[in-house]
Amino acid sequence: MVRLIISLHRHPACPEPAFRQIWKDDHGPAARRLPGVRRCVERGPGPDPCDEGASCDGVVELWFAGPPDLHAALMSPPGRAFLSAIAEQLNPRRFTIAVEPAPAGTEVL
């Protein structure tokens, strides 16, 4: 299992309430519908797991069976649409992602 971790830093032109609403109504459901997603974890504002000591507007973790499944999901039409849509709402200077193994012994829901 691998997980893609995206630290969400909203674009300065996007007010926080609008960012939250768009994520709740559009981006979150789109992330959960990506092909091969085994688990989706969303968190609100807090520490940035990709940049120690920094904070972010939210975090999404997308879990996949392995790197090939992650790659296939992001290269699929829904994956490309998801990445394009979130790029419009995120600050391109603070966009951080990480891919890492899922913690050992973690159950997938």
pLDDT at 11 over 60: yes
Count the domains in the chain: 1
Q: Does 42 fall in a domain?
A: yes
**In-domain check, residue 104:** no
The pLDDT tens digits for 37-80 are 999 998 888 887 777 777 888 888 999 999 999 999 999 999 99
The percent of residues above 90 in pLDDT, for the chain, comes to: 30
10-18: list long-range contacts, CB under 8 Å, 24+ apart: 10/57, 10/89, 10/90, 10/91, 11/88, 11/89, 11/90, 11/91, 11/92, 12/91, 14/89, 16/57
- Domain containing residue 71: 2-99
The reported pLDDT for the residue numbered 24 is 86
